[in-house]
Amino acid sequence: PPPPPPPPPPPPPPPPPRATRVGPMGIDIKAGGRKATKKSGRTAPVSENLYLRLIVKLYRFLARRTDAKFNKVVLKRLFTSKTNRPPMSIKSIAKFMAREGNEGKIAVVVGSVTDDVRFLDVPKLTVCALRFTATARARIVKAGGECLTLDQLALKSPLGEGTVLLRGCKSRRESAKHFGAPGVPHSSVKPYVRSKGRKFEKARGRRASRGYRN
């Protein structure tokens, strides 16, 4: 008789179970990544000015160890760029200090204090600022006032009591006059023109007799 057939081969072993995902899949945020909750803004000044860095060190301490909001605001303004620290004239400072309730207080400007030749009678002022122009300092001192630095203010008023915190206008820069669209209806934006005269941008859009006027 013929030999019996060989037994069938054993079935292959089942594949190992696949690793199951636990929880929703997320983005690998490497080294912080782009976070919607990330704080923006400066945490230190970009300037390498030693004196500014020392004042920052002082106001970091005061902002941390006191509850006065004044110190936190001054510290934040010390970090800002020069564009965000616009200068302030003695005329503007005198105007604010003449208001009711501001008599005898110290005007604090985290920026430069400049002179104004159109301002004839300088009152007695106590001003604290990052820097003063030579003529502004001379006129304040001549009127019997005082020019303080921010470290002197920290000794005089560590909590910012008896002070008025002021800042200049950011949109007084020449470049701010060009922001926007010139030539559109009701716009007073200054166009970038090589020169102002008969031959420069005086036709269409500028005169009603030449098509239309905006």
- Encode pLDDT of 82-120 as tens digits: 999 999 999 999 999 999 999 999 999 999 999 999 999
Q: What is the three-class DSSP state of 172?
A: helix
pLDDT confidence band for 204 (50 / 70 / 90): confident
19-23, 116-120, 152-156, 205-209: segment of lowest average pLDDT: 19-23
The count of other CB atoms within 10 Å of the CB of residue 137 is 18
Residue 23's pLDDT is what?
66
Outline where DSSP puts E strands in the chain: 88-89, 106-114, 126-132, 146-148, 163-166
pLDDT confidence band for 26 (50 / 70 / 90): low
The span from the CA of 110 to the CA of 108, in Å, is 7
CB 120 within 8 A of CB 143: no
Query: Looking up tokens 């915190």, which residue turns up?
Result: 165
